[in-house]
């Protein structure tokens, strides 16, 4: 108990030194943290000064209508020593998949964390919230809606992890049989960060938590509530295959000459131009690769309603090769095509939505 209290009162700098980490090691830790937060290396001294004084915040992680892919992602994040240090300095007080306690004991831990850290704790949510019937998803007999509302009431901020929590995700896809909604559809009086993706990149999840730990505030957000440092640029603009797009060189099938030469996957349905995420730079699996590098187009999983975008292998639009190959108009053509792609995509989504009929529980019973 005394050790637990000490961990709560110690700053991160004090705790690291007690564990024998030198200032040089601390500097390495700050460098990796800056890189993880996608902040420029010039920020390292500021991060070091802030982390030196940082104290561990309480985190309550709520899982609603989800597949546990987001938790799988974060537990497989590829820099464990640094991220473990981050997690050592975040008090993860409730996570019903990871914690040992279950039932009443688990709920008591959540309530104790809420009570002891009133106004200061972070709520992380993965999964969407069903509104059609509270019984569709419950934890310890408590509906997702009730648990979310009572837990965020005393929170400092909410982090919606994954496209389900951020935008409704797969449960929200047509015909949305549970009436699934996102966190921001319910919570209106707390700061919310959307860390979208199906799943999100693990270092993006920890990067947001590290930002709060470091600066005690949330990072700058885009129009969809996502951190600008990770979602500020489109996949298309950061893609190493972008020069092929600009030259009008496209793979037409997954096994043609263009595919073998690593040309642009736009015509094979890549949603890179309408997708904002950090995959092109952060990559996956210890920085090994990412979908486009593996030869498959981006699915657009960090965007709202990506399941209903009209087909993963349907091109957003077909660029006019004759136009974009003409010297001098390449850049202008790229901008125009991007706009056309966006308009066509919206139209495709509207058609896809219109062609679906809502399925009821009775319908499911009939077919089973």
Partner 1 sequence: MVEPKDEVPLNHSNATPVLHEVLHALQRLATLDEPTTIDLRAIPFGPGDEDALLSQLGTGEVKIELDTLGKSTIWETAFSGVWIIDHQNAESERIALQIEVAHVPAIIKAQTEDVTESLQLLDNQLNPNRTETTGLREE
Query: Of 165 and 251, which CB lies nearer to partner 1 in the complex structure?
Result: 251
Q: How do beta strands 129-130 and 142-143 pair?
A: unpaired
Residues 6+ away with beta carbon under 8 Å from 89: 12, 15, 54, 56, 213
Query: Of 42 and 367, which CB lies nearer to partner 1 in the complex structure?
Result: 42
CB of 19 to partner 1, least distance (A): 10
Query: Of 288 and 347, which CB lies nearer to partner 1 in the complex structure?
Result: 288
Query: Rule CB under 8 A: which residues touch partner 1?
Result: 21-25, 27-29, 31-32, 34-36, 38, 40-42, 44, 78-82, 85, 238-241, 243, 254-255, 259-262, 280-282, 286-287, 293-295
For CA atoms 171, 175, 178, 183, the dihedral sign is positive
CB of 31 to partner 1, least distance (A): 5
Residue 155: strand, helix, or coil: strand
Query: Of 118 and 256, which CB lies nearer to partner 1 in the complex structure?
Result: 256
CB of 23 to partner 1, least distance (A): 4
Query: Of 29 and 87, which CB lies nearer to partner 1 in the complex structure?
Result: 29
CB of 238 to partner 1, least distance (A): 4
Query: Of 6 and 23, which CB lies nearer to partner 1 in the complex structure?
Result: 23
CB of 22 to partner 1, least distance (A): 6
Q: Token pair 């056309």 is at which residue?
A: 340
CA distances from 248 to 264, 266, 313, 325, 343 (A): 8, 10, 19, 6, 21
CB of 283 to partner 1, least distance (A): 9
**Residue 211 in contact with residue 219, Cβ under 8 Å?**
yes
Residues 6+ away with beta carbon under 8 Å from 93: 58, 59, 60, 109, 110, 112, 113, 121
Query: Of 35 and 321, which CB lies nearer to partner 1 in the complex structure?
Result: 35
Distance CA 345, CA 84 (A): 41
CB of 35 to partner 1, least distance (A): 5
Distance CA 243, CA 245 (A): 5
Distance CA 355, CA 56 (A): 50
Q: What is the enclosing helix (H) or strand (E) of 159?
A: strand 155-161
Distance CA 150, CA 332 (A): 51
Please compute Rg for the chain using Cα positions: 22
Which residues share a beta bridge with 136? none
Query: Of 155 and 280, which CB lies nearer to partner 1 in the complex structure?
Result: 280
CB of 242 to partner 1, least distance (A): 8
Phi-psi bin for 310: left (phi > 0), alpha (psi -120 to 50), beta? left
Query: Of 86 and 324, which CB lies nearer to partner 1 in the complex structure?
Result: 86
CB of 78 to partner 1, least distance (A): 6
Distance CA 241, CA 297 (A): 11
Distance CA 322, CA 248 (A): 8
The string of DSSP codes covering 302-340 is TSTTGGGSS-TTS-S----HHHHHSTT-HHHHHHHHHHH
């Amino acid at each position: 108990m005394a050790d637990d209290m000490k961990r709560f009162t110690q700053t991160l700098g004090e705790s690291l030194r007690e564990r024998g980490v030198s200032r040089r090691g601390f500097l390495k830790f700050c460098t990796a943290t800056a890189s993880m937060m996608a902040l420029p290396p010039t920020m390292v001294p500021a991060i070091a000064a802030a982390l030196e004084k940082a104290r561990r915040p309480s985190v309550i992680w709520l899982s609603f209508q989800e597949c546990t892919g987001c938790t799988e992602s974060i537990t497989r994040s590829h820099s464990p020593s640094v991220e473990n240090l981050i997690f050592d300095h975040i008090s993860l007080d409730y996570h019903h998949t990871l914690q040992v306690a279950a039932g009443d004991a688990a709920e008591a831990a959540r309530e104790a964390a809420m009570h002891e850290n009133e106004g200061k704790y972070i709520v992380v949510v993965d999964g969407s919230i069903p509104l059609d019937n509270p019984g569709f998803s419950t934890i310890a007999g408590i509906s997702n809606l009730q648990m979310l509302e009572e837990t965020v009431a005393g929170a400092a901020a909410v982090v919606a992890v994954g496209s389900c929590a951020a935008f409704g995700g797969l449960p929200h896809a047509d015909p949305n049989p549970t009436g699934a909604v996102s966190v921001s559809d319910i919570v209106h009086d707390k700061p919310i960060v959307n860390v979208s993706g199906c799943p999100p990149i693990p270092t993006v999840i920890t990067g947001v938590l590290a930002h709060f730990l470091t600066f005690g505030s949330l990072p700058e957000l885009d129009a969809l509530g996502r951190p600008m440092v990770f979602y500020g640029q489109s996949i298309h603009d950061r893609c190493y295959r972008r020069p092929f797009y600009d030259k009008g060189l496209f793979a037409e099938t997954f096994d043609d000459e263009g595919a073998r030469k690593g040309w642009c996957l736009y015509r094979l349905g890549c949603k890179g131009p309408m997708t904002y995420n950090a995959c092109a730079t952060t990559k996956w699996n210890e920085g090994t690769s990412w979908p486009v590098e593996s030869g498959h187009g981006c699915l657009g999983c960090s965007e709202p309603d990506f399941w209903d975008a009209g087909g993963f292998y349907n091109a957003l639009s077909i660029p006019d090769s004759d136009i974009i190959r003409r010297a001098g108009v390449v850049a202008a053509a790229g901008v125009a095509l991007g706009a056309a792609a966006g308009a066509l995509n919206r139209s495709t989504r509207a058609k896809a939505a219109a062609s679906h009929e809502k399925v009821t529980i009775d319908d499911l019973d009939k077919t089973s």
